[in-house]
Structure 1
Amino acid sequence: MVDYSTKAPGVYIEEITPAGPIAGSGTSTPALIGTVAATVPAEKLGIPVPITNWTGYTSQFGDFAANLNLPYAVRGFFENGGGFAYVVPIKDLTGLPAALDQLTRRPDVSLVALPGVVDPAVQATVISHCEAMGDRFAILDGAPDATPLKTDGALQKQRAGLLSKNGFAGLYWPWIVIPDPQAAAGTTATLTKPPSGHIAGIMARSDNQRGVHKAPANEPVRGAIDLAYPLNNLEQDQLNTKNINALRAFPGQPPLVWGARTLTDGTPWRYVNVRRLFSYVEDSVLAGLRWAVFEPNNTGLWKGLERSITEFLTRVWQSGALFGRTAAEAFYVKIDEELNPPATRALGEVVVEIGMAPTRPAEYVVVRIGIWDGGASVNER
């Protein structure tokens, strides 16, 4: 700060750095946890390693192995449009708590998967981690099951133990059939593998092409040539009501992700894109408003916060993420004396209230069709 006591009386100009716009946070960086082919020193187990391509993975962790799931998941992530991931090697599931602890130190992680692990108790631990962090989404593999509709079957029992209060997880089923990358040339050997790594790549691809507000569904699973269980419509009717996201194979098309629900019974957080959109906005606002910490808590600060948040949410609305013909219909930002009375300000707190109207996916497209006789309406059948 300039010491004006040493200067002549007069008017002096100082340039200040205003609060910049809020930048959107990343949404498509997964942490893929599992066992690798290479021998990893004990001190490096559970440590997230940044990987940007398949070659980067093999150079550190070895190649494919039929008894492993992680390498196929990593390859599937990059095949489906992913560009950056953390690979977290563990010796076995006893190393999961330490791995999750290390992930709390990687704030850019937004997706977490444990490819091939279908134990609901273990998966619940991953969900709890995502809920505690508040900005992560767990991509879970459904249990292989030849009778997926039976209440005492592996898939239904698994789902029953995985309800997430605020929708921080999605369960995907069935497993996918992929070409065996180690098969001899000219052969058509295949492997059945869990889809979670491929789903993480699809989310990254959808985020980059359309935005996090678009449901990562009706998207092809690149690298998959078939599904371990060919669902029909009646079966998916029942699975969808249990919020199990199906992968489907329709005639003439590659396998598609055909579900976009989270593991919650509550309507507000039913859809994957709504949960992930709010996580994106929350992360972006938290990072973009750090300039305000320790500033004088007065109406000038309040106006600055309101401007920054409003400008950011206007861009979110313009991208199609929020529902409303105008920005005023799509969101509101409130910061005033009602939220910040003297008692609150005395505690060093400033409270901002934000409301958003997210767009939800058109899960059911209803077409009414009938015989038209040239009149004003059709004769429905």
Structure 2
Amino acid sequence: MISYQSPGVYIEEVAAGPQPVTAAPTSVVAIVGATRRGPVQEPTRITGWSEFQTVFGSRPVAGGYTAQAVYGFFENGGPAAYVVRADDSVRATWEVLRADDTTVEFGVEATSPGSWANELGVAVTLDTTAGSGVLYASGVVLAADGTLTAGEEQKTLTVQSVVGVAAGDPVQIVTSAGVPRPATVDSVDIPGSRLTLSVPAGEELALPAKATWVVAAVPSTATTLRLAAGAGFQRGDVLSAVTPSMARIPAVVDGMTAGAPGLTLTLASQVNQVLPGGGFAVRVVRLTADLPQPTSPDPKVVPLSALSWKDTPVPETGDLETGHQAVAAGGLTGAWEKARTRLEFPAAVPAGPIEIDVRLAARQFRETVTLDHPSRASLAERYSFVPNGTVLKLSGAGGATLSLTRDSAAADGWATAASDPEDKVWTEVEVLKPADATKGIVVRCVRPPEPGSDFIELAPGKRHAIARAEHQGGNVHVIAVEGTSPVTVGDTGRYPLFAFRTTTLSPLRFALKVTERGTEVESYTQLAVHPDHPRFYRKDGLVNGVSPRITVGPPTGGALTPQVLPRFVRPKVAGSDRPITTAGLKKGFDQLERVAEPAMVICPDVLTFTDTLLQADVVGAMTRHCEEFRRFAIIDAPAYRDEALAEWRSSVVNSVQAATYAPHLKMVNLEADSVERIVTVPPSGFVAGVFARTDRERGVHKAPANERVSGIVGSVEDYTQRRQDLLNPAGVNLIRAFPGRGTRVWGARTSSDDVLWRYVNVRRLFNLIETSVERSTNWVVFEPNTQDTWLRIRVSVENFLDQLFRSGALAGTSPEQAYRVRVGLGETMTETDVDLGLVITEVAVAPAKPAEFVIFRFSHKRLTE
């Protein structure tokens, strides 16, 4: 009792009346059986056929009936179902490997067992899209005579940008023609965009008016990187710094600091080599091809002849002689073998795209042709792009040669020659190197040279800026270099193209992709391997818990390096379907103890066993579960003839919490591409749907009989009344077709010989009442065992029963006839019962029983009656 200590207003909440009894659900079914996919031995609630297809697969298990039962349940009005997958199938797994092809980084599993996962493909690729950064690199703005000479210790240079550089930073001065020279930043003039540099004494460093850059020079002992620009980095990222020469310097990000003059990355260890901010290097271009099918006999080796090129123009053998690396489908990285005629990979290469990086070079023009006694004029027309003064060399059979010098001013386009080309058939044409490359040089190049940024090395160590590049069709170009005096061309016949490139930094993450039947269905990008990383691949909500098809396992451990990054995937275990077992089904019934909602239980897959003893074992476990948890079992009878069917029911099923139904039904095959259009299935799923529909439309007290069955095209047996005369007393409820009324459930008896519990609706009505009272009277526990509590109990139960009476669920013309509730000392309890803590309530109800036999008695009537 509350004690009030001071004056004031106090609010108290008191019970307004007896606790109401809420009706328990009766329309939810539990289905135990085999499915193609989905969680195993885990009751999973679904609310429609489409949801079942998503979770458990759209195709039925061969020889099983669970999928068809679920379809039939929802087709007939079922609201929700708990599906327990009980088969012991094998789960498909994959191994995600590092670049060495032997070390497993982590495992991937299908979300559920079964052969369905064999239609999946799993691939990983490097993902550099998360962010990027650059070190300091800026072009120098020089006076016309800007040079650094021997003995000069300092030089102030005007640069295009000073963002990302600070006093004391080591830098390099880079030119197109020379080796990078070291320097140190003494001071930075931000408003004037000027750097004052210290150059080591004795260094001679000429700065031409063009193509001069100042770039960062991160020492090999550095554990920090200051970026001139960058974003997207995270602690735990594997960092890849790609230098202009395509060298890849790895590092691991341990921290980040934002501030002037730029973002600073703290590394987990030293970079171990000098890292320049940029430099001149041979251009690298990416060519694309397609591998139509895996190669044989060795699928790790891909001859160039096996590739189908997607590029225009198609690369020639000469273009591929400077190959850098190749990346196949799934991120598999390969390299060139020595002869440069094939690519070698660490694992089997799947069919699909292949990207090939090559170092770009211009090649002296040659072509193999057939020129049948050509005239000088026709040659001039064909090779009109050849610069004046350049020699065209023709070669033919027997070692015959002819050289023609281009002269566009001549009548026939050529200077005078000793002989006429019309004398022979020529099979090869070569454009010889010119005396002066500023006038133009004819080359073949798989990608167009870029004037203004590209340099061409016409002789070892001699690089010249490209002033002009004219495309002549295909891979033919005419290049002219800058220069006021003649530029000679070396004899190599191959001229690398150089350009200034900055060193690029990017966080190396990976993408995980899933395909189904060859079509990409899932893609997870920017995943990391460090557990502290925000995008750690195993963090919930990235892959696990999101993907309906796969889960990823823990990493194998080891140092965090670029070599740890996943590179490709190989299958480990193929998924397979195993037949259902009695132990699996019985375990499935046990799992239903964890959920309270189901009021019906079905197991159509019990009929996958042909042995009656095995059927009886599963049916017995099913009915025992229903008797213990106050649920109702809908039993599928085998496709037997009448006498055998009655005997089977009598010997296998005997429970007041079960009803047996026959015959099997015909329905359209759920597999649209199957040869069989119509299949035969047990009826329990369809009958459970009829139960649920009847509960919703009429109430659980209405016998679920004389109700139509939807979603079928017929049944395997056409029962007559005479045949039902044998089966109905035996407790086998039939599904019959009636002209003009469709196919209907035509029986409502339990599988018990107890007359008191003969009818399905009576048993289910008591299940409803008992379960509802049980769940709604927990408030009584530990209440005072006194008259007030007994009264509240009686009123709560009476109110609930009165609702049922008014809805027609109970027989009688008055509540007194329909039900009785008694509780109290001297009525249902003794003093000893009270001392033992017992509250005993007696409830009696008069259920409404079905009119199973409708009899009309006819007789003659006399006129005088």
Query: TM-score, length-normalised on structure 1?
Result: 0.90
- Alignment partner for residue 621 of structure 2, among 105, 125, 128? 125
Counterparts of residues 120-269 of structure 1 (less than 5 Å): 120-133=616-629, 135-145=630-640, 147-149=641-643, 153=644, 155-165=645-655, 167-183=656-672, 189-269=677-757
1:283-309 per-residue CA deviation (whole Å, 9 max, x = no partner) reads 111111111111111000011111111
Letter of the structure 1 residue corresponding to residue 15 of structure 2: T
Alpha-carbon spacing, 1:163–1:95, altered in 2? closer, same or farther (3 Å): closer
Name the SS of the counterpart of 2:606 in structure 1.
coil
**Which residue identity does 1:106 align to in structure 2?**
V
Deviation digits for residues 177-197 of structure 1, max 9, x if unmatched?
Answer: 112233469x99311111100
Q: CA deviation at 1:11?
A: 9.7
The amino acid of 1:160's aligned partner reads S
Shift of 1:316: 0.7
Residues 26 and 310 of structure 1: CA distance in aligned 2, closer, same or farther (over 3 Å): same
User: C-alpha distance in 2, partners of 1:188/1:255?
Assistant: 22
- Work out the CA distance in 2 between the residues paired with 1:247 and 1:346: 54
Contact kept in structure 1, 2:589 and 2:621, CA below 8 Å: no
Partner of 2:76: 80
Higher mean Cα deviation, 275-284 or 113-122? 113-122
CA-CA distance at 1:371 after TM superposition: 3.6
1:340 aligned residue (811, 814, 829): 829
Q: Within 1, Cα distance between the matches of 2:791 and 2:673?
A: 66
**Does the 8 A contact of 1:174 with 1:247 survive in 2?**
yes
Q: Distance in 2 between matches of 1:97 and 1:364?
A: 38
C-alpha distance in 2 between matches for 1:11 and 1:297: 33
Shift in Å at residue 240 of structure 1?
0.4
Structure 1 residue 375: deviation in Å? 4.1
3-state SS of 1:117 partner: helix
Q: More displaced, 245-254 or 209-218?
A: 245-254
The alpha carbon displacement at 1:278 in A equals 0.2
- One-letter code aligned to 1:311: N
The corresponding residue for 2:420 is none
Task: From the superposition, tell whether residues 316 and 107 of structure 1 become closer, same or farther in structure 2 (CA, over 3 Å).
Answer: same
CA distance in 2, matches of 1:210, 1:248: 21
- Measured in 1, the distance between the counterparts of 2:646 and 2:19 equals 49
Query: Is residue 224–residue 254 contact of structure 1 (8 Å, CA) maintained in 2?
Result: no
> Alignment partner for residue 67 of structure 1, among 54, 63, 66?
63
Q: Is 1:58 aligned to residue 53 of structure 2?
A: yes
Output the CA distance in 1 between the equivalents of 2:845 and 2:690.
26
Q: Deviations over 1:336-365 (max 9, x none)?
A: 212222110111111000000001000000
Is residue 247–residue 257 contact of structure 1 (8 Å, CA) maintained in 2?
yes
Decide whether the 8 Å contact of 1:46 with 1:96 is kept in 2. Answer: no
Secondary structure in structure 1 of the residue aligned to 2:844: strand
SS at match of 2:738: coil
More helix by share: 1
Cross-structure match for 1:283: 771
Paired amino acid for 1:32: I
Partner of 2:21: 22
CA contact (8 A) 1:174 1:228 kept: yes
CA distance in 2, matches of 1:103, 1:267: 29
In structure 2, give the amino acid aligned to 1:60: V
Deviation at 1:370, TM superposition (A): 3.3
* Aligned counterparts of 1:195 and 1:312: Cα–Cα separation in 2: 34
1:102-161 Cα distance to aligned partner (Å, 9 max, x none): 11111111100001424122111100111111x20000001112x222xxx3x2342122
Q: Please state if 1:49 is matched with 2:44.
A: yes
8 A contact 2:68–2:670 mirrored in 1: no
Contact 2:616/2:653 (<8 A) preserved = no
Displacement, 1:15? 2.1
Structure 2 distance, partners of 1:359, 1:33, is 31
Most deviating of 123-132 and 366-375? 366-375
Cα displacement string for residues 210-254 of structure 1 (whole angstroms, at most 9, x for unaligned residues): 000000000111011211111111110000010100111112232
- 8 Å Cα contact 1:297/1:345 also seen in 2: yes
Amino acid at match of 1:82: G
Q: Any idea what SS the aligned residue of 1:177 has?
A: strand
> Which deviates further from its counterpart, 367-376 or 271-280?
367-376
Which residue identity does 2:711 align to in structure 1?
A: G
| Distance in 1 (alpha carbons) for counterparts of 2:734 and 2:593 | 30
Larger Rg: 2
Tell me the amino acid that sits aligned with residue 627 of structure 2: E
* Structure 1 CA distance for aligned equivalents of residues 653 and 816 of structure 2: 34
The secondary structure found in structure 2 opposite 1:120 is: helix
Task: Classify the secondary structure of the residue corresponding to 1:104.
Answer: helix
2:861 paired residue number: 372
The answer to whether structure 1 residue 305 and structure 2 residue 793 are counterparts is yes
Shift of 1:97: 2.6
CA distance in 2, matches of 1:110, 1:164: 19
* Range 167-176 or range 88-97, more displaced: 88-97
Distance 1:113 1:374 in 2: 58
Percent identity between the two aligned chains: 38
Deviates more, 1:45-54 or 1:87-96: 87-96
Q: How many Å separate the matches in 2 of 1:77 and 1:126? A: 19
TM-score by length of 2: 0.41
Residue 110 (structure 1) aligned with residue 599 (structure 2): yes
Distance between the aligned counterparts of 1:81 and 1:371, measured in 2?
A: 46
- Per the alignment, in what secondary structure is the counterpart of residue 734 of structure 2? strand
- C-alpha deviation, 1:372, in angstroms: 3.4
Indicate conservation of the 8 Å contact 1:111/1:200, yes or no. yes
After superposition, the Cα gap between the structure-2 partners of 1:285 and 1:375, relative to the gap in structure 1 and judged at 3 Å, is farther
- Structure 2 SS opposite 1:223: coil
Name the counterpart of 1:379. Answer: none
Map 1:353-368; keep pairs closer than 5 Å.
353-368=842-857
